Amino acid sequence: MSAMLPEAAEYIVVGGGTAGNVVAARLAEAGKDVLVLEAGPDFGAQGSPAWPADILDATRLGRSHDWGYDSGDTYPWTVGFERARAIGGSSDFNGCTQTWGHRRDYDAWSESGLTGWAADDLLPLFEEGTRRMRVRRYVADELTPWQHAWYDAAPAVGMPRVATLNDLDEAAGFAPEDVNIQDGVRVNSAFAYLDPVRELPNLAIVGEALVDRVIVADGRATGVVVQHRGESVTVHAGTVVLAGGAYNSPTVLLRSGVGPYAQLAPLGIPLVQHLPGVGENLHDQPFLLMSFEGSDAMSARMDAARSAGWAPDEQAMGKAASSVETEAFDLHFLPYSPTHRGDLTRWSIGTSALLPRSRGHVRLRSADPEAKPVIDHRFLTDPEGIDVRMLMDGAEILRELAASPALAPLVGTELHPGPDTFGREELAAHLYANPDNYWHPVGTCRMGVAADPLAVVDARAQVLGVEGLRVADCSIMPTIPRATTAMPAIVMGEKVAAMLLEEASA
């Protein structure tokens, strides 16, 4: 399936993931000569038998072809930081929930001086991404009994049932999800964006091609060094677009000598451009998965739903404000009903603090492109303790909901974190000891204005001090939107592609 490596391309897109495929498709559609280099396999177009079943199956998260990243020894227990290493990127793995966040998220970027990134600038791109990713909206009748029970009860704690979570002006609400699922298949960004252009002669997609570094000469990117079929090969480029995701775009920059001098020197990497922000500002939304014993009534209803055929793990979601939020909302609630764990089924619902203040980092352990980086999220370390407060508020809202007359007989006793954590101090201690992530890392090549000491790219996604080098993925988000990040990633791709095409035609 893997094509031959060409010697040169007008545009090289590093990473055929969620955002990278959008950039590649838009440039190819416009007639540009594009090469996609993807570290994992390219399984071909939708319908090819090479696609693994777990990546196609939209009822649960994908697992195969993972980069294998985790928290290492930065926490008391190992937290997995799953990322797909295959064409489609993390859109191969995700829960297919498509949320956009709130208007304030993007307006805040624009107000910080990032021209062109306000909510109204991005809205048409969200709409287009939604169309291309074949997003549909569940109706309440399609929800499994577990999902329906929480959706029905939500108004009891101030979350009205709403049509969608994707009204950029709305605060609290609980809704059936908008999902990129078609005929039970997870519609990844390769199906949605690459398939229509796969046959174009000006697009090449090469799988199993791990980009080691970008070559920079006289302040300009001229190509990449890529590991392919056991060899280290140079491919020349007019423009290089990094789309390796929030963990990997910074590592490519660091191996290229673009980053903080003090980190590069001990690894023997020659400095090309001192940019202290590369790999910094890592943040994700801390998460707590709560589990309940369930009930015979719920088991019987779910068994019936499973035998009827369609019972995905995720289908409905709520949003509400914690005690620290005054503008809109900063909590998500996500009923989760694993259908594939047989007798081990736990009845779960997660909550996440969407606007974390804590910041961590991604750093290289060595200059070897296959070496796993240090990924330290530093969850719940903000000095004011706001993140833990948000998450505790989320847990308490869920407990109140679980205790409501309609839900209590169905969900049963709380098993995790359990009765030992009913006091606020005990709950905080539990959260500090058991950090978890919501799979939405962002911010490690952050977009910023000239005065921002940690800016890595400018508002045109151009790497500061290196001509011809862009970043287009979740890593450029200066702050995380109060959303799951799949559709925002698509929008990053759409926006950067539009800017590249605009510049090319100027």
Residues of this chain that bind ligand FAD (CB under 6 A): 14-20, 37-40, 61, 82-85, 89-91, 93-98, 210-211, 243-246, 248, 252, 439-440, 473-474, 484-487, 489
Closest CA to 325 of 346, 355, 350, 300: 355
Please tell me the distance from the alpha carbon of residue 339 to that of residue 316, in angstroms, as a whole number.
15
What letter would DSSP give residue 163?
S
349 or 407, CB closer to ligand FAD? 349
CB of 246 to ligand FAD, least distance (A): 6
CB of 14 to ligand FAD, least distance (A): 5
233 or 403, CB closer to ligand FAD? 233
CB of 506 to ligand FAD, least distance (A): 26
200: number of Cβ within 10 Å: 14
Please tell me the distance from the alpha carbon of residue 399 to that of residue 138, in angstroms, as a whole number.
26
What letter would DSSP give residue 269?
P
CB of 24 to ligand FAD, least distance (A): 11
Please tell me the distance from the alpha carbon of residue 198 to that of residue 6, in angstroms, as a whole number.
16
CB of 310 to ligand FAD, least distance (A): 17
In the annotation, is 440 catalytic? yes
CB of 84 to ligand FAD, least distance (A): 6
Closest CA to 204 of 470, 471, 5: 5
Residue carrying the six token digits 């959303």: 483
Please tell me the distance from the alpha carbon of residue 315 to that of residue 148, in angstroms, as a whole number.
9
Q: Is the bond leading into 417 cis (omega within 30 degrees of zero)?
A: yes
294 or 360, CB closer to ligand FAD? 360
| Closest residue to ligand FAD, based on beta-carbon distance | 17
The structure tokens listed for 304 are: 């019936």
Terminal Cα-to-Cα distance of the chain (whole angstroms): 37
98 or 222, CB closer to ligand FAD? 98
Closest CA to 395 of 363, 436, 446: 436
Residue type, 95: G
Query: What is the H or E stretch that residue 235 is in?
Result: strand 231-242
244 or 318, CB closer to ligand FAD? 244
328 or 492, CB closer to ligand FAD? 492
Catalytic site residues?
A: 440
